[in-house]
Chains A and B, each alone.
Chain A
């Protein structure tokens, strides 16, 4: 498969990586009071750039657009190579959006403000970098560099068990990434031995023609790295800990952006690079996906902590992405990508909602809540929409992605689709249960609680502003998915070209 490129006339992608870094560098030396405005403005600029790219992107053909390439380390054949196709672009756009929401929410932060925003800005640059890099060394640099700020965010601004959670997050991810690194180095060396090309470019590694045995080995090495990041069952145990302990904005980014890196890795690397191995491992991936969906949905049902519940639901949603991806057909891939986007919005919104509740009630325990809807009507409405989108109500974003994933999976394996479909009910169950317990159930409220609730204020401007774009987008995708499907169509076809001969 040959890939065409459209060179950028203006290094727009590089700029969107560099701006947050420059802002972070500046903030380190500026007085503390500038931290919030500077970071919000930076994230908005990045968001505007990515929105511009989203609309300027020509989706009628499959070309890597806004493409830049500069030689970097000739000795190793490494170049700085960035560009976007529809998959990267939607991920970048999602990243930029979620960071705007995270920064706007973070105006409430009181503790060590400067370092907080510096960490988030560096994290933003690294996250965008992961999605736009086509050179594997750069991909790995961004992939790993992200660990440092995230480690600090969980560990410094988190809750009681934060250090344990941060360390667990770091070690798990580092473990996976090193195997990913070994896999990539193995392919790189194979390429050099067989073809005499020294290159770490994605497009060179794409046409390697690996023998099946090696394909399986490299697939497994890379899959380990991605699966931990996704996280797939049984590598998911770091996620609830990290989510529960992370500060709200950290949870938002973790759920909305970081988890997507794993599934992005599967779609971007595993499928096109290892077509035979991917086919070979379809049953395994389906099994893991279904186990993730059902098992973690059950786990979510049993949770009493809001964030832990949402964390388990994330693992469950990621299961849909996994089975959609490995259905290896157009519907499946499109569904997987749209689920990724949709889950970005819904999980971000749900974690924000959890953050608002905590700020008011100072508890994440569901039993401490109840009857909030009457006292915070605006919040209750937005929370309701997010919860419904997450549960997959038609008309909202969650439905489109999961439906397409299931259609794709149905074509590949009826049993998998049926099992995954059944668990949708469980999914609706825990979401509704959470909403019901937290927001309604007014009759069971004690009078002291009602007294406290009456003093609660509804959302303020910054909270509303960080929430509302996500909610609008849930409707946009849910009511008009055709635009997104069209955007992704050629890219999905290119990713699947080795399977369905497109």
Chain B
């Protein structure tokens, strides 16, 4: 290690150790690429990918001393490390359920694995960025690979349509973001978050700065699928292979939330009035639109896509308040959303493998009678998304309420309440179909070990955190406090 370290240090990269997770992911991606090229050994590819993710997760936990590296372009601190760990974790679960799903759909391609790893790398760069350029590169690496992943059902029209929409709208988002970055650069003369923050101080908000911030908010809002920039979401989510949907709806989104928080707080700590208002409006629109449209969906996968838009609304609502409580709430909710979101989508991916399963709500009829355990898992996911204790979704919403009411933003709190009630309509519907209708088909389900483990893991984490969220809350609070130091310096 030391030789390597010296070598890298000789190239001018100090503190190379903090980059180990990224390096492992990159190397794994290349190895997987090679294996795929040479052998087509499917099992081997899965194992290598999972192993690489596992190896990368260890240093993300053990790195103690964070630092800025790459000449200030890249920051490794507790915030980014926490998010990296959870991103790796969620990718791990997607990877272990991916193969059975693809084989049942007869669309196995080895490309999935290294594309996922590259997307993960992009997200890790995103959450570690301390510079608008690094952030942009990470975002693009993640986005472009996900455009490809979304369209991987090459023979399926819906998948292609979704991917194409995502590509066009995502590209627009990228363009808007780069324009915003350009404006901010023009205004401040720097890409560095800290320098930008120093230049845009209170009372010096001019057209350039405001326009730049607003464009960034729009672009990031598009990536986080907040209304009114959500049009790609339902189609892309519905068309993509379901484990990939899980990856998009959970990992990519959580990374986006993290980077939104980071950019807003670190680059524009004094312009918080603008982004508070901007995110509050986007959040309210997402909650209202996402929930009402989800009510109308008969396809559960599409319903979950709209519910994910609504969840973007809940999470982004925390950005309406520039306080540590709000940041804590945002971090906590995004982290626990991983478990609910993965649970919901991987449940669908596991069932979709069975013949005749179309994700239509009618397919859920009487599931509880034939598969009580499976139905129980879905019940837990649904009630957690609805925010009923003793599931962790309750604490997520509680945090947002605390943040909003603590900052006297009653109107958004009321929107959140009313929309939570609306959301009961469609989450309960799934439970009703599973528990209160008679089964119609007698199709048998065989869960793979990975799927069974993933579902059980997600459900138990949701319940355990629902009873004892202390550790997660403390962790989120630590990160929230760390961020708040920047605001209003």
A, B from the same assembly: yes
Interfacial residues, chain A to chain B (CB-CB below 8 A): 28, 72-76, 112, 114-115, 137, 140-141, 144-145, 147-148, 151-152, 155-156, 162-163, 166-167, 170-171, 174-175, 178-179, 181-182, 185-186, 188-189, 192
Contact B413 A156 (CB under 8 A): no
Q: Which residues of A contact B470 (CB under 8 A)?
A: 72-75
Contact A174 B421 (CB under 8 A): yes
Contact B436 A166 (CB under 8 A): yes
Q: Which residues of B contact A166 (CB under 8 A)?
A: 432, 436
Nearest-Cβ distance from residue B191 to partner chain A, whole angstroms: 35
Q: For the complex, what is the distance from the CA of A141 to the CA of B383, rounded to whole Å?
A: 13
Contact B390 A141 (CB under 8 A): yes
12 A-B residue pairings within 8 Å (CB atoms) = A28-B372, A73-B470, A114-B372, A115-B368, A148-B379, A148-B383, A152-B431, A171-B421, A174-B424, A175-B421, A189-B406, A192-B406
B417 is an interface residue with CB less than 8 A from chain A: yes
Nearest-Cβ distance from residue A245 to partner chain B, whole angstroms: 11
Contact B424 A182 (CB under 8 A): no
Q: Which residues of B contact A144 (CB under 8 A)?
A: 388-389, 394
Q: For the complex, what is the distance from the CA of A163 to the CA of B437, rounded to whole Å?
A: 9
Q: For the complex, what is the distance from the CA of A189 to the CA of B421, rounded to whole Å?
A: 23
Nearest-Cβ distance from residue A358 to partner chain B, whole angstroms: 20
Nearest-Cβ distance from residue A71 to partner chain B, whole angstroms: 9
Which one, A76, A174, A186, contacts B473 given CB within 8 A? Answer: A76
Contact A182 B417 (CB under 8 A): yes
Contact A163 B436 (CB under 8 A): yes
B474 is an interface residue with CB less than 8 A from chain A: yes
B90 is an interface residue with CB less than 8 A from chain A: no
| 3 nearest CB pairs, A to B | A141-B389, A155-B436, A178-B417
Q: Which residues of A contact B406 (CB under 8 A)?
A: 189, 192
B420 is an interface residue with CB less than 8 A from chain A: yes
Nearest-Cβ distance from residue A169 to partner chain B, whole angstroms: 11
Nearest-Cβ distance from residue A464 to partner chain B, whole angstroms: 32
Nearest-Cβ distance from residue B364 to partner chain A, whole angstroms: 14
Interface residues of B in 5-45 (CB under 8 A from A): none
Q: Which residues of A contact B390 (CB under 8 A)?
A: 141, 145
Q: Which residues of A contact B372 (CB under 8 A)?
A: 28, 114-115
The interface bits of chain B over 309-329 (1 if a CB of A lies within 8 angstroms of the residue's CB, else 0) are 000000000000000000010
Q: Which residues of B contact A145 (CB under 8 A)?
A: 388-390
B369 is an interface residue with CB less than 8 A from chain A: yes
In the complex, residue of chain B having the shortest beta-carbon distance to the beta carbon of A111: B369
Which one, B401, B413, B477, contacts A75 given CB within 8 A? Answer: B477
Contact A182 B405 (CB under 8 A): yes
Q: For the complex, what is the distance from the CA of A189 to the CA of B321, rounded to whole Å?
A: 15
In the complex, residue of chain B having the shortest beta-carbon distance to the beta carbon of A71: B470
Q: A141-B389, A163-B432, A163-B436 are in contact. List 19 more A-B contacts (CB 8 A).
A: A75-B328, A75-B473, A114-B372, A115-B372, A137-B398, A140-B389, A144-B389, A145-B390, A148-B388, A155-B436, A166-B432, A171-B421, A171-B428, A174-B421, A178-B420, A182-B401, A182-B417, A185-B398, A185-B405
Contact B405 A189 (CB under 8 A): yes
B66 is an interface residue with CB less than 8 A from chain A: no
Q: Which residues of B contact A167 (CB under 8 A)?
A: 428, 432
Interfacial residues, chain B to chain A (CB-CB below 8 A): 328, 368-369, 372, 379, 383, 388-390, 394, 398, 401-402, 405-406, 413, 417, 420-421, 424-425, 428, 431-432, 435-436, 468-470, 473-474, 477
Q: Which residues of B contact A112 (CB under 8 A)?
A: 369
Q: Which residues of B contact A156 (CB under 8 A)?
A: 435-436
Which one, A28, A75, A140, contacts B474 given CB within 8 A? Answer: A75
Nearest-Cβ distance from residue B210 to partner chain A, whole angstroms: 31
Contact A152 B435 (CB under 8 A): yes
Q: Which residues of A contact B398 (CB under 8 A)?
A: 137, 181, 185
Q: Which residues of A contact B468 (CB under 8 A)?
A: 72
| Given A155-B435, A167-B428, A182-B388 contact (CB < 8 Å) | no
Interface-central residue, B406, B421, B436, by most chain A CB under 10 Å: B436
Contact B428 A170 (CB under 8 A): yes
Which one, B417, B424, B428, B469, contacts A73 given CB within 8 A? Answer: B469
In the complex, residue of chain B having the shortest beta-carbon distance to the beta carbon of A140: B389
Q: Which residues of A contact B328 (CB under 8 A)?
A: 75
Nearest-Cβ distance from residue B224 to partner chain A, whole angstroms: 25
Q: For the complex, what is the distance from the CA of A156 to the CA of B368, rounded to whole Å?
A: 10
Interface-central residue, B394, B432, B469, by most chain A CB under 10 Å: B432
* A-B CB pair tally, cutoff 8 Å: 81
In the complex, residue of chain A having the shortest beta-carbon distance to the beta carbon of B432: A163
Nearest-Cβ distance from residue B366 to partner chain A, whole angstroms: 11
Q: For the complex, what is the distance from the CA of A480 to the CA of B369, rounded to whole Å?
A: 49
Q: For the complex, what is the distance from the CA of A73 to the CA of B471, rounded to whole Å?
A: 8
In the complex, residue of chain A having the shortest beta-carbon distance to the beta carbon of B375: A115
Nearest-Cβ distance from residue A22 to partner chain B, whole angstroms: 14
Q: For the complex, what is the distance from the CA of A140 to the CA of B469, rounded to whole Å?
A: 15
Contact B420 A171 (CB under 8 A): no
Contact A189 B368 (CB under 8 A): no
In the complex, residue of chain A having the shortest beta-carbon distance to the beta carbon of B471: A73
Q: For the complex, what is the distance from the CA of A76 to the CA of B402, rounded to whole Å?
A: 10
Nearest-Cβ distance from residue B154 to partner chain A, whole angstroms: 41
Contact A181 B401 (CB under 8 A): yes
Q: Which residues of B contact A73 (CB under 8 A)?
A: 469-470, 473
In the complex, residue of chain B having the shortest beta-carbon distance to the beta carbon of A193: B406
Q: For the complex, what is the distance from the CA of A171 to the CA of B424, rounded to whole Å?
A: 7
Q: Which residues of B contact A181 (CB under 8 A)?
A: 398, 401
Q: Which residues of B contact A75 (CB under 8 A)?
A: 328, 470, 473-474, 477
In the complex, residue of chain B having the shortest beta-carbon distance to the beta carbon of A147: B388
Interface-central residue, A76, A145, A155, A189, by most chain B CB under 10 Å: A76
Q: For the complex, what is the distance from the CA of A174 to the CA of B398, rounded to whole Å?
A: 14
In the complex, residue of chain B having the shortest beta-carbon distance to the beta carbon of A162: B436
Q: For the complex, what is the distance from the CA of A178 to the CA of B417, rounded to whole Å?
A: 6
Q: For the complex, what is the distance from the CA of A72 to the CA of B398, rounded to whole Å?
A: 16
Q: Which residues of A contact B477 (CB under 8 A)?
A: 75
Nearest-Cβ distance from residue A383 to partner chain B, whole angstroms: 31
Q: Which residues of A contact B421 (CB under 8 A)?
A: 171, 174-175, 178
Q: For the complex, what is the distance from the CA of A144 to the CA of B383, rounded to whole Å?
A: 11
Q: Which residues of B contact A163 (CB under 8 A)?
A: 432, 436
Q: For the complex, what is the distance from the CA of A381 to the CA of B205, rounded to whole Å?
A: 83
Nearest-Cβ distance from residue B438 to partner chain A, whole angstroms: 11
Contact A170 B401 (CB under 8 A): no
Nearest-Cβ distance from residue A462 to partner chain B, whole angstroms: 26
In the complex, residue of chain A having the shortest beta-carbon distance to the beta carbon of B470: A73
Q: Which residues of B contact A137 (CB under 8 A)?
A: 398
Which one, B369, B405, B474, contacts A186 given CB within 8 A? Answer: B405
Contact B413 A182 (CB under 8 A): yes
Nearest-Cβ distance from residue A301 to partner chain B, whole angstroms: 33
Nearest-Cβ distance from residue B410 to partner chain A, whole angstroms: 9
Nearest-Cβ distance from residue A146 to partner chain B, whole angstroms: 10
Nearest-Cβ distance from residue A458 to partner chain B, whole angstroms: 34
Q: Which residues of A contact B431 (CB under 8 A)?
A: 151-152
Q: For the complex, what is the distance from the CA of A179 to the CA of B398, rounded to whole Å?
A: 12
Which one, A72, A141, A151, A162, contacts B428 given CB within 8 A? Answer: A151
Q: For the complex, what is the distance from the CA of A141 to the CA of B390, rounded to whole Å?
A: 6
Q: For the complex, what is the distance from the CA of A238 to the CA of B369, rounded to whole Å?
A: 27
Q: For the complex, what is the distance from the CA of A182 to the CA of B411, rounded to whole Å?
A: 12
Q: For the complex, what is the distance from the CA of A74 to the CA of B471, rounded to whole Å?
A: 10
Nearest-Cβ distance from residue B395 to partner chain A, whole angstroms: 9
Q: For the complex, what is the distance from the CA of A167 to the CA of B405, rounded to whole Å?
A: 29
Q: Which residues of A contact B473 (CB under 8 A)?
A: 73, 75-76
Nearest-Cβ distance from residue A26 to partner chain B, whole angstroms: 15
Q: For the complex, what is the distance from the CA of A174 to the CA of B394, rounded to whole Å?
A: 12
Q: For the complex, what is the distance from the CA of A162 to the CA of B432, rounded to whole Å?
A: 10
In the complex, residue of chain B having the shortest beta-carbon distance to the beta carbon of A192: B406
Nearest-Cβ distance from residue B394 to partner chain A, whole angstroms: 7
Q: Which residues of B contact A162 (CB under 8 A)?
A: 436
Q: Which residues of B contact A174 (CB under 8 A)?
A: 388, 420-421, 424
Q: Which residues of B contact A151 (CB under 8 A)?
A: 428, 431
Q: Which residues of B contact A155 (CB under 8 A)?
A: 432, 435-436
Q: For the complex, what is the distance from the CA of A494 to the CA of B406, rounded to whole Å?
A: 31
Q: Which residues of A contact B401 (CB under 8 A)?
A: 181-182, 185
